[in-house]
Structure 1
Amino acid sequence: MRIGIMGGTFDPIHIGHMLAAEAAYDTYRLDRVWFMPSHIPPHKQGAGVAGEERLQMVKEAVQSHSAFEAIDHEIRRGGVSYTFQTIRELQALHSGAEFYFIIGADMVNFLPHWEHIEELAQRLIFIGVRRPGYELALDELPAFLHDRVMLADMPVVDISSTDIRERIAAGHSVRYMVPDRVYEYITRGSMYEI
């Protein structure tokens, strides 16, 4: 079983996340893609809404794709969400699975700074999804990462969760920037409004 893991804050999940996951799924013929909201991301100050709400938005977003699934592993564990710890636990729970971690192009160049990156690189393959505005310097990565990062291309969409939160706070529409069911969930809960 080839399982892609799409980790992130998903605050909120948007079509860019969905396109990245689909690009990795299609390019590398993954069997499943698990969307896993972080509890507390190590590289950000925190999320705008609680983990359970972010998890519910992810569930709404992936509902129509038979190979996509929302998992609550990091939300349930709590604390800072370090990928190496999560992968250790997931591999113990799913001993036959081959894991791929899907990241945006902006994170590829940052990989050498991840906690326990050498161990993590031995445990899985990273799929770096090319996004607009980010140059990848794969040849500048440490040698142990050279054959542990594969690339996938996605359509050019320049959307960020930060932009979506700011648009909502300013009273602007985010319809079509997020999946329809996520838009409905955000609207029902009046999320991100000032």
Structure 2
Amino acid sequence: MKKVGLLGGTFNPPHIGHLMMANEVFHALDLDEVRFMPNALPPHKQARHDASDAERIDMVKLSIAPYPHFRTELFEVVKGGVSYSYETLAALCAREPNVKFYFIIGGDMIDTLHTWYCIEELVKLVQFVGVRRPGTAAKTDYPVIMVDVPQIDLSSTLIRERLATGGTVTFLLPEAVESFIREEGLYGTRTVFSGD
């Protein structure tokens, strides 16, 4: 049976923390691949300089391009609207019955698993994989395989703030993603490189 990791998120933008988490889990659990699954962002929640669904997909594709064991899973973006993990995973499991899915979540999500929609059914569909994040307990009574990864306190919010204020994002984003952001003028960046 094929072993596939799933890493969901807004990826607004995707950063090195996402790549590192996916890669560590890929190797620790000997997976066949890890899929990055952007979720749909409701239009009314998007800030003026936010990336569109298409731009977020492009950034994910740019960030994972060098790594053949990473793929995109566009189910939630194509579906649109609010997606519950249970409904998404039920659909993916039905679509690919010969795949065992490993759903990668951060410590903040582990702490709130008991509040998830249809969690009792969801834990029967997939294997949760937990990654600790700074400032979270990462404790639950549900079955979660914990994978130790180097912890980095990095968020897409921080990166958007840095970009909007002209701060550095070197080593925080893949270079191809930073170039795309600046070329597209996302997150309040200038549309041309300053050259300095």
**In structure 1, distance between residues paired with 2:186 and 2:67:** 25
Report sequence identity in percent: 40
Give ranges in structure 2 of 5+ residues lacking alignment. Answer: 190-196
Find out whether 1:174 has 2:180 as its counterpart: no
Asked which structure has the greater CA Rg, the reply is 2
Q: In the TM superposition, what are the counterparts of 1:30-45 in structure 2 within 5 Å? A: 30-40=31-41, 45=45
Which residue pairs with 1:154 in the alignment?
149
What is the Cα-based RMSD across aligned positions, in Å? 1.5
- The structure 2 residue matched to 1:130, chosen from 129, 132, 148, is 132
Q: CA deviation at 1:46?
A: 5.2
Which residue pairs with 2:102 in the alignment?
100
Which residue pairs with 2:56 in the alignment?
54
> Which AA in structure 2 matches 1:133?
G
> Which AA in structure 1 matches 2:114?
P
Q: CA deviation at 1:85?
A: 0.9
Q: CA deviation at 1:187?
A: 1.3
2:111, 2:136 within 8 Å by CA — same for their partners in 1? no
Q: In the TM superposition, what are the counterparts of 1:7-26 in structure 2 within 5 Å? A: 7-26=8-27
CA deviation digits over 1:48-101, x for unaligned, max 9?
321111111100011111110012111111110211111111111111000010
Which residue pairs with 1:116 in the alignment?
118
Give ranges in structure 1 of 5+ residues lacking alignment. Answer: none
Q: What is the total number of aligned residue pairs between the two structures?
A: 184
TM-score (norm 1): 0.90
Which residue pairs with 2:87 in the alignment?
85
**In structure 2, distance between residues paired with 1:40 and 1:186:** 18
CA deviation digits over 1:116-141, x for unaligned, max 9?
11111110011011122222223xx3
Consecutive aligned runs of 4 or more in structure 1 exceeding 6 Å deviation: none
2:102, 2:128 within 8 Å by CA — same for their partners in 1? yes
TM-score (norm 2): 0.89
**In structure 2, distance between residues paired with 1:54 and 1:19:** 18
1:23, 1:129 within 8 Å by CA — same for their partners in 2? no
Which residue pairs with 2:29 in the alignment?
28
